Structure formats: C-alpha cells, structure tokens
C-alpha cells in the first residue's frame, strides 16, 4: 500500500438524501412543473409523444431567442466575441431542435389522424416564441401579432420584438460602423418592423468580405450566420417532410394550405445575401 502523502484517494460517499423541503435539483429545474404539463385530449397513446415533442420544441425556441437576442445586443455594443459565442452555441442548439423532429418524422396518416382532431384549430404557426424567433431572423409582419391579441403579455412581447432590429440588422450595422463595410444608408435606417429584403449593395459587401482575409471578425460573423441559416433551412425542410408524410396535401390544422405553405417557407433563404454572394467570390 502506498504511503505517498500525494496519493490522496477519495472515499466514495452516498449522495445526500435528506432535504428540508424539495430537492435543490427540483428547485432549479422545476421538473415537477415540466412533467405535469402534459394533458392529452385523446385516448390514443401516440398523442403523448406528439405533445411532449411539441413542448420540447417550444423550450428550444426559447433558448434560441435568448441566444440571438444576446448576439444582437452584443453587436449593438460592438462586442463581436460575445455575439460569436452566442451564435455558435445557437448552432448546437439548432441541431438539437432539428433532432427533436425524429419522434414525429415517420408518422403515417392513420397514426396522425388518430389524435389530430384533438388539436382543433391549433397550429405551430400560432407559437408566439417561434414568431419571436422568426422576427429575429428578419421575417416580420405586423399582421402576425393578430392571433395573440387575446393574450396581452404575449402580444406586448411580440410588438416589442417587431419594432426592434433583427439579428441581421445588428450585424450589418456593426459591419458598417466598425469595419467600414459599404452598407447603404437605406438598409441601415430601414423600417425594422417590416420584413428584411435583399440588397445588391449588401451582397457586394459580403463579396468583399469573403474575398479578403478569412481570419477576421466580418468573415467569422458571416460563417456563423451561414451555419445558423442552414440549420434554420433544415428545420423548415424537416417540418415540411414530416407534414407531407403525415397528412399529404390536406389543409393544415390552423387553416393554412399545409404543405404548400411550408414549401414556400422552406424555399426562402435566411440572411439571403450571404448565399447569393458566394456566386461572385
């Protein structure tokens, strides 16, 4: 047996099991709240997976909104390092969000139909947190606040997000302010409550960035945004494929055109000039 004083070996101890109230884990995670939020409305056992998966997606939306708001705020303060860290975290989180489609990706029409009526007019289109996520990506429209008029707190949060610059606005402003990027004034001062529209001048600014040195803040921002944009496209496409597999071309649960509407969304690029600029580098 060693008698070396540096040879310190920890004796295994049982975890503490006696707490005055709830466990510290419960106090922090609120697991009891989370695991009692599931109230299926049909007798079909498959509905539980649909409900939990949808709730998990809502939690990931919440994390992504936090990350992109963090990144936008950091860029507003000309702190690209903090912004890049948030964007890189969000890419990992987007992968987890996209993986959450797996329990629903192989639903057959009979399986989905067995509890579809429980949704009534409910649709993911009505998700307020997903709407905030899309607003941060530049997909804005005042009409999208209408479904939330009956929930004052949610409506106020969305109205605030509608009138704040999106993530891409803050990127372009930072590039112009701190790195001399030739972003036109009408883009820098645009009405941020409206959908972002592509600009040839912004496209050229990205061409110039990509033709320059690669180990720069503008280049790193471009690649971090491209990663996010690709993962958003994958999310939209996975949603489209899962819906097409489960219900074909039938009308969506919220009254939309279903697959046709999702096809239109999947075809629309996020941060568009980052994609078109690649043709000229």
Residue with tokens 């649709």: 123
Which stretches does DSSP call E strand in the chain? none
261 Cβ contact list (under 8 Å, min separation 6): 252
C-alpha dihedral, 160 to 165 to 167 to 173, nearest 10°: -160
Q: Please enumerate, by residue number, every residue annotated as part of a binding site for heme.
A: 239
Would you give the distance in Å from CA 178 to the centre of its chain? 27
Alpha-carbon distance of 157 to 66, in angstroms, equals 13
- Taking CA atoms, 43 is separated from 46, 48, 116, 176, 190, in Å, by 9, 10, 12, 57, 51
Tokens matching residue 115:
């509890």
Q: Please enumerate, by residue number, every residue annotated as part of a binding site for substrate.
A: 116, 253
Q: Please enumerate, by residue number, every residue annotated as part of a binding site.
A: 116, 239, 253
CA atoms 133, 139, 144, 145: torsion sign: positive
CA atoms 127, 128, 129, 133: torsion sign: positive
- Other CB atoms within a 10 A radius of the CB of residue 79 amount to 14
Supply the DSSP symbol for 270.
S
């Amino acid at each position: 047996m060693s008698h070396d004083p540096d040879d310190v070996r920890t004796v295994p101890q049982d975890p503490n099991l006696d707490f005055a109230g709830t466990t510290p884990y419960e106090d922090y995670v609120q697991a009891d709240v989370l695991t009692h939020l599931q109230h299926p409305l049909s007798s079909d056992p498959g509905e539980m997976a649909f409900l939990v998966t949808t709730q998990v997606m809502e939690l990931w939306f919440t994390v992504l909104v936090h990350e992109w708001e963090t990144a936008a705020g950091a860029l507003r303060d000309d702190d690209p390092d903090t912004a890049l860290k948030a964007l890189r975290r969000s890419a990992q989180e987007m992968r987890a969000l996209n993986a959450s489609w797996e329990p629903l990706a192989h639903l057959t029409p009979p399986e989905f139909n067995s509890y579809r009526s429980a949704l009534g007019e409910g649709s993911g289109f009505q998700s307020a947190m997903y709407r905030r996520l899309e607003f941060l990506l530049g997909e804005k429209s005042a009409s999208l606040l209408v479904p939330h008029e009956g929930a004052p707190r949610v409506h106020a949060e969305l109205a605030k997000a509608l009138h704040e610059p999106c993530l891409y606005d803050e990127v372009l402003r930072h590039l112009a302010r701190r790195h001399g990027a030739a972003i036109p004034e009408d883009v820098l001062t645009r009405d941020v409550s409206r959908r972002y529209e592509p600009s040839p001048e912004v496209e050229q600014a990205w061409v110039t960035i990509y033709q320059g040195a690669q180990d720069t803040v503008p280049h790193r921002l471009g690649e971090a945004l491209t990663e996010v944009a690709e993962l958003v496209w994958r999310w939209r496409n996975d949603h489209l494929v899962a819906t097409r597999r489960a219900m074909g071309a039938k009308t969506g649960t919220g009254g939309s055109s279903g697959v046709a509407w999702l096809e239109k969304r999947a075809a629309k690029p996020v941060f568009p000039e980052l994609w078109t600029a690649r043709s000229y580098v």
